[in-house]
């Protein structure tokens, strides 16, 4: 079956998994029909098989893997989301996990077992060869979210005095080399990294050329302690495909591949998006109801407190609202327009901070730019809303009041939208988590206070 046929069988035109395919899978599981389950999943890519597993109910996941038996593609396990991975791995028989670890690269194997309790992890590691066990334990000793934890220890390294012909013969004849690699690393006798050599250059060079004459000595290298954020930034900034990882002594210990870093970049983007909405970064569609409820409750509670604060500001002007009922109709427009404008600025700022495009070197320029945008938009919407209010209620003064409040609130929204993320970043707090709540407070309070305050001042002057 062609790849297009596989895709048509599994997904609809929008890329969603077909309900019919799921029903066939569930029917096979319910009937314990291993033959049918294998037939349905035989041609699936590991990532697609992972999507299928995630779409099943918890008891059905392990049942499917058990039905597939030796035909189960273990590459699907590292493709699972963390929560699904943990639930599946905890329920899989140790022999299945052992077989998976033996086939997977180091980084993928570590991902599978890193969150298991000590007893389960020891039970699995005890059943794999000593060399692999030592490698995995060493990787697990590195802090989470560092290059040492993310790297794979399978790579190709040669001495600099070798020739191109020797390198080619070595990669052809030596067992145990990684299945996929894009560059060969060059080391000295102490395994200190000296350079790297792309495969494309090896293939295009004469066999008698030495590695030393062809290798790159200027290249991006990571330390085992570098953060995953730093890794993702440099891969994206310098268009890397792979990069070496060294220990504190400068010895080559692993390599990072672009496919793993792409996962990090996507994860960071998803984290920012989730946190901007006040949702836990690790929340999944398959998560337990009570766990999700607890994680969302905190920010909803904080939002409730800020809403109470905004309501208190309104209560200060209840007499003014009683004199001019139109104010109650127009208040939400001022607040919501400020909130939307502030969200635009904040989204740009949070993303720029995450990609390191915003920092002390250009903060003032960006703040002034956002204030200019807020002021110009404020004036434009002040004119639009002022004329609309005059037409609607017949009060020119009311149009001036709401227009003035619009200018004040959009300028405040622009300032808050850029300064709050900068301040939180300076305090070493994640701006994506907290900025949205504070921004809502600023725009609501400023919008209500400016609009109702100006109305109160006008009524007093009129009286």
**How is 392-421 classified by DSSP, letter by letter?**
HHS-HHHHHHHHHHHHHHHHHHHHHHHHHH
* pLDDT bucket at 276, cuts 50 / 70 / 90: low
Please tell me the CATH code under which domain 3-143 is placed.
1.25.60.10
Res. 368: pLDDT tops 70: yes
pLDDT of 209-227, one tens digit each? 999 999 999 889 999 999 9
Res. 118: pLDDT tops 70: yes
**Lowest mean pLDDT across 33-42, 241-250, 287-296:** 287-296
Please tell me the CATH code under which domain 157-257 is placed.
3.10.580.10
Q: How many CB atoms lie within 10 A of CB 245?
A: 26
- Equal CATH topology for 3-143 and 289-462: no
Task: Determine the pLDDT at residue 289.
Answer: 77
Question: In whole angstroms, what separates CA 125 from the centre of its chain?
Answer: 30
* pLDDT bucket at 324, cuts 50 / 70 / 90: confident
Task: Determine the pLDDT at residue 387.
Answer: 95
Task: Determine the pLDDT at residue 408.
Answer: 95
SS3 call for 158: strand
**How is 161-221 classified by DSSP, letter by letter?**
T-BHHHHHHHHHH-TT--S--SEEEEE-TT-BEEEEEEHHHHHHS-TT-BHHHH-BSS--E
* Environment class of 393 (CB within 10 Å of its CB; exposed 0-12, middle 13-18, buried 19+): middle
What residues contact 38, with CB distance under 8 A and at least 6 apart? 67, 68, 69, 71
pLDDT of 120-168, one tens digit each? 888 888 888 888 888 898 999 999 889 999 999 999 999 999 999 999 9
CATH topology of domain 289-462: Tetracycline Repressor; domain 2 (1.10.357)
Buried b (16+ CB within 10 A) or exposed e, 37-71: bbebbeebbeebbbbbbbbbeeebbbbbbbbbeee
Domain ranges of the chain: 3-143, 157-257, 289-462
Do 431 and 421 form a contact (C-beta atoms < 8 A)?
yes
Using left for φ > 0, alpha for ψ between -120 and 50, and beta otherwise, residue 57 falls in: beta
Average pLDDT over the chain, rounded to whole? Answer: 87
* Overall average pLDDT of the 62-74 stretch: 91
* Residues of the chain above pLDDT 90, percent: 43
pTM of the predicted model as reported, rounded to 2 decimal places:
0.70
Enumerate long-range contacts of 40-43, CB under 8 Å, 24 or more apart.
41/68, 41/71, 42/71, 43/1, 43/6
* pLDDT bucket at 191, cuts 50 / 70 / 90: very high
* pLDDT bucket at 242, cuts 50 / 70 / 90: very high
* pLDDT bucket at 175, cuts 50 / 70 / 90: confident
Assigned token pair, 63: 């049942």
Res. 435: pLDDT tops 90: no
């Amino acid at each position: 079956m062609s790849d297009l046929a596989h895709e048509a069988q599994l997904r609809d035109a929008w890329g969603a998994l077909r309900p019919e395919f799921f029903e066939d899978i569930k029917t096979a599981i319910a009937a314990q029909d291993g033959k049918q389950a294998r037939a349905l999943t035989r041609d699936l890519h590991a990532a697609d098989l992972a999507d299928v597993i995630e779409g099943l109910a918890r008891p059905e996941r392990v049942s499917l893997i058990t039905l597939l038996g030796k035909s189960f593609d273990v590459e699907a396990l590292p493709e699972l989301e963390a929560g699904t991975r943990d639930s599946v791995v905890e329920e899989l028989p140790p022999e299945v996990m052992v077989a998976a670890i033996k086939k997977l690269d180091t980084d993928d194997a570590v991902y599978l077992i890193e969150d298991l309790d000590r007893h389960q992890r020891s039970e699995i590691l005890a059943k794999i060869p000593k060399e692999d066990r030592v490698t995995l334990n060493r990787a697990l000793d590195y802090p989470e979210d560092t290059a040492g934890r993310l790297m794979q220890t399978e790579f190709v390294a040669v001495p600099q005095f070798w020739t191109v012909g020797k390198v080619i013969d070595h990669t052809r004849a030596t067992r145990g080399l990684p299945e996929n690699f894009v560059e060969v690393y060059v080391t000295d006798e102490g395994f200190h990294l000296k350079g790297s050599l792309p495969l494309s250059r090896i293939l295009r060079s004469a066999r008698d050329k030495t590695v030393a004459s062809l290798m790159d000595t200027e290249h991006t290298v990571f330390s085992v302690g570098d953060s995953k954020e730093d890794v993702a930034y440099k891969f994206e900034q310098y268009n890397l495909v792979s990069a070496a990882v060294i220990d504190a002594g400068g010895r080559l210990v692993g390599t990072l591949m672009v496919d793993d870093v792409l996962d990090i970049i996507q994860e960071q983007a998803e984290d920012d998006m989730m946190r901007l909405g006040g949702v836990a970064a690790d929340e999944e569609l398959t998560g337990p109801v009570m766990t999700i409820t607890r994680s969302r409750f905190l920010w909803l509670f904080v939002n409730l407190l800020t809403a109470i604060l905004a309501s208190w500001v309104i209560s200060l002007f209840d007499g003014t609202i009683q004199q001019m009922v139109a104010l109650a109709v127009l208040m939400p427009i001022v607040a919501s327009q400020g909130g939307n404008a502030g969200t635009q600025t904040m989204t740009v700022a949070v993303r720029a901070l995450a990609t390191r495009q915003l920092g002390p070197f250009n903060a003032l320029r960006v703040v002034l730019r956002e204030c200019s945008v807020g002021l110009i938009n404020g004036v434009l919407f002040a004119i639009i809303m002022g004329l609309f209010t005059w037409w609607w209620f017949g009060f020119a003064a009311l149009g001036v009041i709401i227009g003035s409040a619009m200018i004040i609130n959009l300028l405040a929204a622009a300032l808050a939208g850029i300064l709050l993320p900068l301040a939180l970043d300076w305090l070493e707090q994640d701006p994506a988590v907290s900025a949205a709540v504070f921004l809502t407070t600023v725009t609501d309070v400023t919008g209500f206070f400016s609009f109702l305050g100006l109305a109160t001042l006008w009524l007093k002057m009129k009286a």
